[in-house]
Structure formats: structure tokens, C-alpha cells
């Protein structure tokens, strides 16, 4: 059974203070607002003698537990810690004064005092027997410093949730955004509707196994109280109107069709959502929210509002009647009306609503706070309309993404308050999101850490104190803390970077493996598609030539210890790599695939469509023309395309390979339905498909075009929504000379 984060037990003895050179930089994360160093250090090896202001006496026992001193029984002079109330300070602000005669923590509230104790605990863990004397003054930049934990796609135990709360508190975060309802599982006990957990909390996986679970009201109350003691607010998310298949599986009458359905085991966006035309659906949701509000005292309730296809509403007589009766223009305005009804209900009960940035569509409900995830524009639009915003764009804040997409440095570079909004007071803060489609409980910490450490400083510390090399140095000490807290952290970044450019041969790539972290070693082999190893023993920091399509597979080691599975770089050495290109489509900001040169740069896409090598468009055709260095005998051309229908990624309807000697007269024609009739046939696969065409002629220009197949088909859960096309590289193989 998992346990909440164990309190690290240590003891402090006040020894002699000896003059030393002042410690100008603390190794704290997040970095405090200011540190004024003294000229002494205090030897520590005994126990805490904590004196608490009268107003906070009831907290003393827990605060001693938090520091860890109660678990040791040692004789000796204890270091004196005084916690004083200073009403003139901000709610979360604190000050710590470390002197030879003891330590004083000042704050206006228990919240601020707790931050001061947390700072003291962090310093002691890496003090090596001596605390630096000096003065810390500190306060957070943003009030909302959150982590979303998705316990729906994969259920997580109450003990794990408590451990997550401990780690949030240790990093001075303030919010656990608890995602409790979803298509793949309903996780909160509701007395009025028992089938939500009896049926909606469980699903049958593709292999026939069962997955699920839910939190009883007693467990939720216990977790909320546990968080409150650590000054973490728990904001529940009850998804509506979309992402509601689990509820519809329990009570089919909540949907537009009334048809029975199972809790899905696959991911994606589903067209069956709550029916907005039924008063009974609204009554159901209000009853659910009544019980949610009894359990969660938080000021905010998150209602989701994202990814709600309108196809059912557009076909539903009850929804169409609602549109007419409320004098609405379309289904988008119906969603705004629906969410507005929920928002007004929450407001009448003294609560505020948060929703994902889709709630902007059709008009923003009064008093709503927007959580901007599709970039920063949702936050900007909300502020322009006089609303608050929380920033959590996919570019910096989605920790389910691999480090290939979002590494530690990118997270640290996040700025929640973009130009034009600084000082508006409308940006409440930011949030990192841990969606769990591909991260069951045992993988979550390796996804969240160490990236949350960087986010904690982004949201707490003044921008002027955020210096990447300085943060890197402090991270070295912080890893000691993470080890003591037994955090199963992952990589900061891809541990081995690949540098590549056009090779000396016209059909080759010049590659170089460069360690991206200290202590990293390894050797690589280039394995051609088909299994033949064409280059082996590729070492670090030396340049190597590769030709053809395949994977550079690197066996990694860290400080001499093998790190298991090899790191793979899909590559293609060919005559088109790094030659001038012209695109026939606009680059999408979400999937730019390394920009203008991305479809002719020698990098192939992997099985992960978010790896940065795939270039994609939504609802558009795609095309690329490459001008070769000279007239070249072309053997063949190829292109890879991605398929993942649950994510609206479909194979192209038709494609065209073309080649030309003069750039005017082109050979080659359209290849209709290159994958047969499978383009729009339902398929659960998430895979890469390769298209290749023999040429056998000389050419100077080559071209590839792919036609978008059109909107998602009727059977799809996002029917009528625009589909995505994903391409990786136009590979041009020349004939051997």
C-alpha cells in the first residue's frame, strides 16, 4: 500500500557559530523574494524547540510533525524557533531570520507561517550540519499555483493523492485540481445516483481486464482535510457537457439518444454528451453539484467545458427546441447557455466557476474564470472581456507530454503573464496538467518531476530572480531532497541530444551524439528499416555519416550504470535532406514539425505524434516541393503518415508523388485511396503508415501532396469536426552511381 510522504526526521542542536564568508546564494526552490546573508553559520545536530504565537497554538503539533523533530529523542541544547504573528504582512508572505541564538519566523497567517517552516525544512535537508545566518523575506507572485491530477483515465489510490499533496506543499504550490469525472470513469460517490460509481467507475479494457475505482465521501473528506492542513486547496472538476460517457453509461437518459452504452476503454473525444435540451439533465447536474459542494469547501468548482462535439445536439429535437425557445443562434450558443445555467447555480451557492477556454465559444458566462490550454489566447480573450484567467498552455504545462516535447528548461521559461496583461490583476496564476491516458499511477511521478519543481519557481518567484544556470545549480541540491522524499523523478530533458546536418555525400546525413546532462554516456548503432545494422559503435561527440532510412539506437548509461531501453532517433539520409523547400500549407502552431524545413530535414517521425518531428494541419490539404542540388537519378520517393482516429488523425484521402527535370513539366499523378477503403473505416490503431513510389527517372524537383479526407465521419464521436493530417519527411532515394 502506498503511504503519504513520510516526514523526514532530523534533529537540530545549536552549536557554536563560527565566522565564515557569507553565503550569497541559497539553494532553495522556489527562490525566495530576497535573501540578505549574514556572516555566520550555525552547527545543527539536536532538536527543535518551537515557540508558537498564541493564535496558532493548535497548529504546533502538526508543525512539529512537518519539521520531523518529534521522531527523535536526543539530549542536548535545542535550537529555538519562534513563530510570531505580524498582521502587516500579506496572507502567504513570511520572513525567516536565522541568528546564532535561534530562528524567528514571522507571518500574518498560519498559511505564511507554514511556508516559513517549509523553507526551514528544505534548508535543513541540504545544510550539511550548518544553517547560514541571514534574513529571508518571501511571498508568492501568483495565488493560483496548481497541478491537475487526472484520476479518471487511470484511477489513483487515496494514499497516492495524499502523497501528491505533500509534494505540492513542499514546493509551495497552492492548488490540487482534482479531475474526477471523465468518459473513461466516474470517480466520486454521489448518494442520489449510485449507478455513477457502481457502473460508471469501471471499464473493460481491450484485453478483457477490468479497470476502475472511486472515492467514497469519507475518503474525499479525509483528503480535503489533509490538504487544508498543508494549505493546499482542492478544486474538483466535474466535466460537462462533454467528456461524460461514464455518466451516460450509468444513466443513458442523460444523453440525447437515450441509447445504452459502455464506459469506453479508448481515449479521444466522444460525440455522446449531456443533452442540453432536457430539464432532467440540468436537474441531475445540479444535484451532483450539491453533493460536490458539500464535500469541497473551495471557492471554485471546475466544470470542464472542453471538447464537446455538437453533432448530437444538432440532430436532437429537444436541443433544437431549446435553441429556439432561448432565442439562440446555434449549438455553440447552446453550450454557452448550458454552462451559464450551471454557473448561475454555482454563484447562487456562493461558488465561482472555472472552465477550459472552449467556454469562450458562444459567449462567456458571467463571472467565469477561463483556464487557457490551447495557447495563451484564451487567457487574453478572457481578460479583454473582464474575466480572470489561469494559464496552462500545452506548450509548457502538459506534463503528460514527453520531455522531447516539453523539457525542464522549457517549463522554466514559461511566462504566465504575457505582454499587455502584466499588472492587470486578472491572471490568477498557472497550472501544470497531468493527464493520465498513458500514465498509470506508477508513472505519474516520473512525468511530473522534476518539471513541477521548475513550475513551482515560475509561479512563486519574481521574474527577476529566475536565471536558468542558477536554477540548474540549485537543482543539484534539490535532487538530494527529492531522493530523501523518495520521489521517482524522470529525466530533465532528452538525456542524449542529436545534432545532424547534410552529409558529405549527397544522400547522407552527418550525425553527432551529444550528452545533454552530466554523467551521461552511451554508444549507438544505426539500424536500417528491415533490421540490418549499417553502422555500429557510434560514440559521443564524434561525427558519423549515415545513409538510408532507419533508427539510430543509443544504449544510455548514467555515471556508468546502464539505463535500460535504448533511445531511438528515426532518421533518413537522402538527397532531398536540407534542400530548399516550398510548402503548400500553413504551418500549424501546435504541430510545426521543426518549421519550414521540417519535411526535408532528415528526421523521421516516431510512434509518438507529439515527438516534434511530425508536421500537421487540421482541415487542410498538405504539400511540399523540394528542389534538389542537381539533376539526379531518382530511384524512389516515400512519405510516412500517421493514423490515430480517436485523436481525429486520419489517413489522407489521396496523395500525389511528382517529379520534374525543369520545374515546369511534372510526371506522376494522383493516387486515390492509397490505403484502400480504410481511410474512413473505424480503426483503433495508433500507427505509422508508409507510402512509397518507384520513380526510375532523372529529376531536379520533387513534390508530395496529400488531401485531407474531410470532416470526421458520421460514426466518429467527433462527427463533422475537422480531421488532422500528419506528415513527417519526403524521402528521396537516388540511384546508386
- More confident site: 520 or 452: 452
Separation CA 582–CA 620 (nearest Å): 16
Confidence of residue 624 (pLDDT cuts 50, 70, 90): very high
Measuring CA to CA, how many Å separate 217 from each of 111, 178, 293, 594, 621? 26, 14, 12, 48, 51
Mean of pLDDT values over 15-20: 42
Share of the chain above pLDDT 90, in %: 74
Separation CA 15–CA 20 (nearest Å): 15
Residue carrying C-alpha cell 481491450: 206
Mean of pLDDT values over 162-175: 98
* Model pLDDT for residues 576-611, shown as the tens digit of each residue: 999 999 999 999 988 999 999 999 999 999 999 988
Considering the entire predicted model, what is its pTM? 0.85
Q: What is the DSSP string of 599-641?
A: GGSSBPP-S-TTSS--EEEESS-EEEEEEEEEEEEEEEEEEEE
The confidence score (pLDDT) of residue 224 equals: 98
Burial class (CB in 10 A: 0-12, 13-18, 19+), 191: exposed
Burial class (CB in 10 A: 0-12, 13-18, 19+), 453: buried
Report cis status (omega within 30 of 0) of the bond before 104: no
**Helix (H, G, I), strand (E, B), or coil: what is residue 49?**
strand
Helix axes 217-229, 158-170, angle to 10 degrees: 10
Longest Cα–Cα distance of the chain, Å, equals 92
* Model pLDDT for residues 535-545, shown as the tens digit of each residue: 788 888 788 99
Lowest mean pLDDT across 165-174, 316-325, 377-386, 553-562: 553-562
The confidence score (pLDDT) of residue 429 equals: 98
Helix axes 110-125, 60-67, angle to 10 degrees: 20
CB 215 within 8 Å of CB 189: yes
The confidence score (pLDDT) of residue 559 equals: 64
The confidence score (pLDDT) of residue 8 equals: 35
The confidence score (pLDDT) of residue 472 equals: 94
Measuring CA to CA, how many Å separate 284 from each of 237, 278, 301, 342, 499? 16, 10, 16, 11, 56
The confidence score (pLDDT) of residue 252 equals: 98
The confidence score (pLDDT) of residue 46 equals: 54
User: Residue 20 above 60 pLDDT?
Assistant: no
The confidence score (pLDDT) of residue 17 equals: 41
Phi, psi of 112 (to 5 degrees): -65, -40
- More confident site: 17 or 67: 67
What are the grid coordinates assigned to 169, written together?
Answer: 506543499
Confidence of residue 79 (pLDDT cuts 50, 70, 90): confident
Q: 484-488: long-range contacts at Cβ-Cβ below 8 A with a sequence spacing of 24 or more?
A: 484/8, 484/125, 485/5, 485/8, 485/167, 485/170, 486/5, 486/6, 487/167, 487/445, 487/449, 488/445, 488/446, 488/449
- More confident site: 362 or 349: 349
The confidence score (pLDDT) of residue 129 equals: 72
The confidence score (pLDDT) of residue 607 equals: 92
Of 420, 489, 418, give the one whose Cα is nearest residue 452.
489
CB 89 within 8 Å of CB 66: no
Average pLDDT, the chain: 91
User: Residue 171 above 50 pLDDT?
Assistant: yes
The confidence score (pLDDT) of residue 15 equals: 39
Burial class (CB in 10 A: 0-12, 13-18, 19+), 151: buried
Mean of pLDDT values over 722-731: 97
Confidence of residue 530 (pLDDT cuts 50, 70, 90): confident
The confidence score (pLDDT) of residue 53 equals: 92
CB 66 within 8 Å of CB 118: yes
Amino acid at each position: 500500500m502506498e503511504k503519504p510522504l513520510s516526514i523526514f526526521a532530523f534533529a537540530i542542536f545549536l552549536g557554536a557559530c563560527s565566522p565564515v564568508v557569507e553565503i550569497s546564494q541559497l539553494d532553495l526552490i522556489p527562490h525566495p523574494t530576497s535573501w540578505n546573508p549574514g556572516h555566520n553559520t550555525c552547527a545543527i545536530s539536536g532538536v527543535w524547540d518551537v515557540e508558537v504565537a498564541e493564535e496558532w497554538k493548535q497548529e504546533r503539533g502538526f508543525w512539529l510533525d512537518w519539521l520531523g523533530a518529534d521522531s527523535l529523542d536526543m539530549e542536548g541544547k535545542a535550537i529555538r524557533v519562534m513563530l510570531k504573528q505580524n498582521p502587516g504582512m500579506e496572507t502567504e508572505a513570511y520572513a525567516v531570520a536565522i541568528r546564532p541564538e535561534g530562528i524567528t519566523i514571522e507571518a500574518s497567517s498560519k498559511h505564511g507561517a507554514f511556508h516559513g517552516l517549509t523553507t526551514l525544512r528544505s534548508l535543513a535537508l541540504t545544510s550539511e550540519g550548518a544553517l547560514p545566518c541571514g534574513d529571508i523575506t518571501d511571498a508568492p507572485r501568483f495565488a493560483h499555483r496548481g497541478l491537475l491530477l487526472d484520476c479518471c483515465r487511470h484511477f489513483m489510490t487515496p494514499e497516492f493523492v495524499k502523497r501528491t499533496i505533500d509534494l505540492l506543499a513542499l514546493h509551495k504550490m497552492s492548488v490540487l485540481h482534482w479531475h474526477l469525472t471523465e468518459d473513461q470513469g466516474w470517480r466520486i460517490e454521489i448518494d442520489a445516483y449510485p449507478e455513477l460509481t457502481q457502473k460508471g467507475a469501471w471499464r473493460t479494457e481491450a484485453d478483457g481486464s477490468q479497470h476502475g475505482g472511486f472515492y467514497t465521501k469519507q475518503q474525499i473528506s479525509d483528503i480535503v482535510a489533509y490538504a487544508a492542513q498543508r494549505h493546499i486547496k482542492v478544486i474538483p472538476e466535474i466535466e460537462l457537457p462533454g467528456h461524460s460517457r461514464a455518466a451516460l453509461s450509468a444513466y443513458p437518459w442523460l444523453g440525447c439518444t437515450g441509447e445504452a452504452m459502455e464506459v469506453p476503454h479508448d481515449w479521444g473525444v466522444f460525440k455522446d454528451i449531456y443533452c442540453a435540451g432536457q430539464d432532467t439533465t440540468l436537474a441531475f447536474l445540479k444535484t451532483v453539484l450539491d453533493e460536490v459542494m458539500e464535500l469541497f469547501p473551495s471557492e471554485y468548482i471546475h466544470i470542464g467545458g472542453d471538447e464537446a462535439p455538437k453533432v448530437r445536439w444538432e440532430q436532437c429535437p429537444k436541443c433544437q427546441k431549446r435553441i429556439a425557445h432561448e432565442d439562440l443562434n446555434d449549438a455553440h450558443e447552446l453550450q454557452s447557455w448550458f454552462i451559464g445555467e450551471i454557473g448561475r447555480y454555482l454563484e447562487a451557492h456562493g461558488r465561482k466557476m472555472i472552465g477550459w477556454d472552449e467556454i469562450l465559444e458562444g459567449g462567456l458566462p458571467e463571472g467565469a474564470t477561463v483556464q487557457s490550454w490551447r495557447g495563451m489566447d484564451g487567457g487574453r480573450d478572457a481578460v479583454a472581456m473582464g474575466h480572470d484567467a489561469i494559464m496552462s498552455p500545452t506548450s509548457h504545462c502538459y506534463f503528460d507530454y514527453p520531455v522531447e516535447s516539453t523539457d525542464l528548461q522549457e517549463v522554466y521559461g514559461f511566462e504566465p503573464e504575457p505582454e499587455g496583461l502584466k499588472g492587470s490583476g486578472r491572471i490568477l496564476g498557472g497550472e501544470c496538467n497531468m493527464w493520465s491516458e498513458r500514465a498509470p499511477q506508477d508513472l505519474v511521478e516520473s512525468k511530473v518531476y522534476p518539471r513541477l519543481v521548475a513550475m513551482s519557481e515560475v509561479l512563486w518567484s519574481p521574474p527577476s530572480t529566475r536565471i536558468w544556470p542558477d536554477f540548474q545549480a540549485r537543482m543539484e541540491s534539490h535532487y538530494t531532497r527529492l531522493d530523501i522524499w523518495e520521489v521517482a523523478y524522470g529525466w530533465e530533458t532528452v538525456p542524449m541530444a542529436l545534432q545532424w546536418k547534410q552529409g558529405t555525400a549527397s544522400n547522407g546525413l552527418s550525425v553527432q551524439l551529444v550528452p545533454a546532462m552530466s554523467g551521461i554516456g552511451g554508444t549507438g548503432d544505426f539500424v536500417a528499416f528491415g533490421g540490418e545494422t549499417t553502422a555500429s559503435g557510434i560514440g559521443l561527440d564524434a561525427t558519423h555519416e549515415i545513409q538510408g532510412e532507419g533508427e539510430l539506437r543509443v544504449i544510455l548509461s548514467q555515471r556508468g550504470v546502464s539505463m535500460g531501453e535504448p533511445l531511438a532517433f528515426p532518421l533518413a539520409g537522402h538527397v532531398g535532406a536540407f534542400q530548399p523547400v516550398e510548402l503548400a500549407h500553413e504551418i500549424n502552431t501546435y504541430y510545426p514539425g521543426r518549421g519550414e524545413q521540417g519535411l526535408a530535414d532528415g528526421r523521421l517521425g516516431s510512434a509518438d505524434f507529439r515527438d516534434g518531428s511530425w508536421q500537421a494541419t487540421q482541415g487542410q490539404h498538405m504539400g511540399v516541393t523540394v528542389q534538389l542540388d542537381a539533376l539526379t537519378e531518382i530511384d524512389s520517393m516515400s512519405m510516412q503518415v500517421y493514423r490515430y482516429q480517436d485523436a481525429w488523425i486520419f489517413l489522407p484521402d489521396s496523395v500525389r508523388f511528382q517529379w520534374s527535370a525543369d520545374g515546369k513539366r511534372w510526371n506522376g499523378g494522383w493516387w486515390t485511396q492509397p490505403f484502400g477503403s480504410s481511410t474512413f473505416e473505424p480503426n483503433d490503431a495508433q500507427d505509422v503508415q508508409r507510402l512509397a513510389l518507384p520513380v526510375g527517372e532523372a529529376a531536379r524537383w520533387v513534390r508530395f501532396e496529400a488531401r485531407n479526407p474531410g470532416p470526421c465521419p458520421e460514426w466518429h464521436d467527433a462527427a463533422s469536426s475537422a480531421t488532422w493530417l500528419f506528415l513527417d519527411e519526403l524521402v528521396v532515394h537516388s540511384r546508386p552511381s
